[in-house]
Amino acid sequence: MLTPKVAVAVCTLLTLTYVDAITDEQGPLGRLSTAVINAAGLLTRLVPRYPNQQGYTKEENEFDFIIVGSGPSGAALANRLSEEKDWKILLLEAGDEASPITEVPFLCGALEFSKYNWGYKAEKMDGFCKGCIDGRMEWPHGKALGGSTIINYMIYVRGNRLDYDRWESMGNPGWSYKDIFPYFLKSEDAHITQTVKDAGYHEKGGYLGVSDVPFRSGAVDAFVQAAQEAGYPFVDYNGKSQIGVSYVQTNTKDGRRVSSESAFLRPIRHRKNLVIRTGSHATKVLIEPRSKKAYGVEYVRNGKKYKALARKEVIISAGGLNSPQLLMLSGIGPKRHLQKVGIPVIKDLPVGEKMYDHATFVGLTFTVNQSIVHKIQDYVTSPESYAAFLKRGAGPFTQIGGVEALTYIKTNASDDPDPTFPDVELIFIGGALSTDAGVVYRRLFNIPRRTYDVLWKPLEGKPAFQVYPMLFHPKSTGYIKLRSRNPLEPPKFYPNYFSDLENHDIKTMIAAIREVQRIVKSPGLQKFGAQIVDTPIPGCEQHAFNSDEYWECGLRSLIGSLYHQVATCKMGPAEDKEAVVDARLRVHGTKGLRVADTSVIPLPVTAHTAEPAYVVGEKGADLIKQDWGVL
Ligand SMILES: Cc1cc2nc3c(=O)[nH]c(=O)nc-3n(C[C@H](O)[C@H](O)[C@H](O)COP(=O)(O)OP(=O)(O)OC[C@H]3O[C@@H](n4cnc5c(N)ncnc54)[C@H](O)[C@@H]3O)c2cc1C
Ligand SMILES: *[C@@H]1O[C@H](CO)[C@@H](O)[C@H](O)[C@H]1NC(C)=O
Ligand SMILES: *[C@@H]1O[C@H](CO)[C@@H](O)[C@H](O)[C@H]1NC(C)=O
């Protein structure tokens, strides 16, 4: 029988076999591995979970609300709005229903090579990624029913109290921490047993599974101990206070990925008033030019053009990169830019002109003298791994790409007056880029083979771990432009990392690198002879190892992103020259049109952005219900 469980088993085995064999950037085996993940998607055609949702009759073409995009925000909206039985909802999603293989947490890195990723790259710029292949970064973004939560790392972080309070103080009433907190609990179905859980901060019974990872390396225990010895309390970072160390809390349940699809859509897929159309790429929001009222969406499915009409509203939840694109394609954006690419201007707004992201450094590696780190080869070849996963949702396949602990620190480079507001997150990985022999993770960061061969190849087979410092509140900002008026062409992304004039972002990252070294010197890790790898990063040999100049060179050479792009359709009052939507998520100067997803988040959050995106969806649904008088 082709049950999902059998499918998961077969596909995991096949995928790992092939992924393991990938040798280089574009090798034939690499393509084969991608083909296997994609082919697994065909299984969903045999046993589709959404069999009755693709109806295309004429009568079905008018809806009350049309939502574009099924990531955390769009899925939460589709769920909550369709609670109103009298409202008819259309959810449009460019990607397909994802195969069960995506629910294996262990595969999260490899999924970036599948069809569930839009496959974007950032533009080449000075100042970062100098050592990357072609100087360009991969900028994955999810393309599936479930959006980026189909391919993301499942890290669950709500953010700091101050994040939300600052959104409110920027002129966005209703978005303070006090206002938002109930939505964290409303969504949550917490099954946290191994990390601390602050009383009153977690809830059971919501749609969104939250659990810790049942399988850990010995290295993470040593790191968590070392961090405490260095002065960090063991905390619930989703509780009272963030600063401190903790094992990671994740969007998983029974050892499997929880996506916005499995959490918010699957349980309600039989609702009669919710129509879900996958493989449907929205190309334009239809807006009446004089009244500026949105009345529908144009979309392409299997190469054919369709139109759907919205009696009440169109809500764009296409994510931090695609929502600004769709707005611009529809005539809403910076006037000069739209004119340049030949799009008639409906409303001049600063869409895509500001973009924050969370950058990280992937070049900080430590060795230990005992095998306390993850051993991928052993996991993949041991039948027990498969059995544990399939029978109990346990074992090594439940780990989320090696991310095991998070430490929230405030470096001595911080200029923020609030002592409870972390400026960097230290992401502990229970292995190194060498752990998978440079097969998957090296490629995610576009690190050339020759750099890998210098820095990580000598570590293959030896126990090593990495710590990625992630910059929470960058002063550098990027922007997005359309490549052309062709809606099927990817936009141009200019991240602009490490470009702020005072060099504050670099200084903060250097301070974080030094703080990591201080933690590693604590007894908990020295017990294992933990030592920094001091092989010079190629291109930085001229600087003394561990000098500020050395780390600046390294930071500008090797970089990763956590793909938390925000503020591209920034929320703020009409007086705010950077604002695109108001505090009720309505696009300024238009009617019947909202944006609800990470793109409205006005400042980079002290979090990973999935949970903030769920909250924007939950809160957005209540705003809409209030505005239509049903709440
Ligand atoms: C590789 C990766 C790892 C990540 N890891 C984490 C993590 O561990 N923890 C965390 O909190 N966050 C993580 N994130 C970020 C997080 O997943 C996203 O911030 C979050 O999913 C954003 O939600 P969203 O609703 O704004 O948009 P998305 O999740 O991006 O969803 C947008 C949806 O809209 C669809 N869409 C776009 N354009 C169109 C169109 N024109 N027509 C129709 N549909 C369209 C897309 O296909 C997609 O399904 C990660 C992201 C990536 C890419
Ligand atoms: C900042 O902290 C690091 C340790 O984390 C230390 O090495 C460095 O000297 C400190 N710098 C200043 C200016 O205090
Ligand atoms: C690892 O290093 C520590 C500290 O130097 C030492 O005490 C310990 O004996 C070493 N263990 C092994 C197995 O070499």
* 102-155: pLDDT as tens digits: 999 999 998 998 899 999 999 999 999 999 999 999 999 999 999 999 999 999
With contact defined as beta carbons under 8 Å apart, do 128 and 495 qualify? yes
Span of 10-14, 267-271, 555-559, 583-587 with lowest mean pLDDT: 10-14
pLDDT reading at 227 higher than 90: yes
Task: Specify if 16 maps to a domain.
Answer: yes
pLDDT value of residue 100: 87
Rounded Cα gap, residues 520 and 516, in angstroms? 6
User: How much distance in Å is there from the Cα of 355 to the middle of ligand 2?
Assistant: 30
pLDDT value of residue 110: 87
Annotated active-site residue in 358, 374, 504, 608: 608
Task: Give the residue whose CA is nearest to atom 20 of ligand 1.
Answer: 610
pLDDT reading at 13 higher than 60: no
Q: Which residue has the tokens 């709500």?
A: 158
Closest CA to 101 of 40, 23, 172, 162: 40
Task: Specify if 407 maps to a domain.
Answer: no
Rounded to an integer, the average pLDDT of 60-64 is 89
pLDDT in tens, 194-221: 788 899 999 999 999 999 999 999 999 9
- Structure tokens given for 279: 């493989």
pLDDT tier at 20, thresholds 50, 70, 90:
very low
As for how many domains the chain has, the answer is 1
pLDDT value of residue 23: 45
Please indicate whether residue 202 is annotated as part of the active site. Answer: no
Measure CA 604 to chain center.
Answer: 13
With contact defined as beta carbons under 8 Å apart, do 333 and 349 qualify? yes
Rounded Cα gap, residues 118 and 313, in angstroms? 27
pLDDT tier at 1, thresholds 50, 70, 90:
very low
Please indicate whether residue 588 is annotated as part of the active site. Answer: no
pLDDT reading at 16 higher than 90: no
Rounded Cα gap, residues 91 and 362, in angstroms? 37
Q: Which atom of ligand 3 lies at the shortest distance from residue 526's CA?
A: 4
Rounded Cα gap, residues 21 and 26, in angstroms? 12
Rounded Cα gap, residues 87 and 85, in angstroms? 6
User: How much distance in Å is there from the Cα of 378 to the middle of ligand 3?
Assistant: 24
pLDDT value of residue 50: 81
Answer with the residue of higher pLDDT: 335 or 440.
335
pTM of the entire predicted model: 0.96
Task: Specify if 345 maps to a domain.
Answer: no
- Structure tokens given for 172: 């966005």
pLDDT value of residue 41: 75
pLDDT reading at 46 higher than 90: no
DSSP letter string, 321-348: HHHHHHHHHTTEE-HHHHHHHT---SEE
Answer with the residue of higher pLDDT: 11 or 551.
551
Closest CA to 432 of 563, 357, 532, 538: 532
Residues with CB under 6 A from ligand 1: 68-74, 92-95, 112, 140-144, 147-149, 151-155, 281-282, 317-320, 322, 326, 563-564, 597-598, 608-611, 613
Ligand nearest to the CA of 527: 3
Residue 25's domain spans which residues? 1-47
Task: Specify if 521 maps to a domain.
Answer: no
For residue 408, the one-letter residue type is: Y
**Strand, helix or coil at 504?**
helix
Task: Specify if 258 maps to a domain.
Answer: no
Task: Specify if 152 maps to a domain.
Answer: no
With contact defined as beta carbons under 8 Å apart, do 504 and 553 qualify? no
pLDDT value of residue 211: 97
Helix or strand run (H / E) with residue 164: helix 161-169
Q: What percent of the chain has pLDDT over 90?
A: 86
pLDDT reading at 28 higher than 70: no
pLDDT in tens, 292-338: 999 999 999 999 999 999 999 999 999 999 999 999 999 999 999 99
pLDDT reading at 557 higher than 80: yes
Task: Specify if 265 maps to a domain.
Answer: no
Pocket test residue of 152, 300, 563, 565 for ligand 1, highest count of atoms within 8 A of CB: 152
Task: Specify if 30 maps to a domain.
Answer: yes
The three state secondary structure string of 79-124 is HHHCCCCCCCEEEECCCECCCHHHHCHHHCCHHHHCCCECCEECCC
Rounded to an integer, the average pLDDT of 532-547 is 98
pLDDT tier at 3, thresholds 50, 70, 90:
low
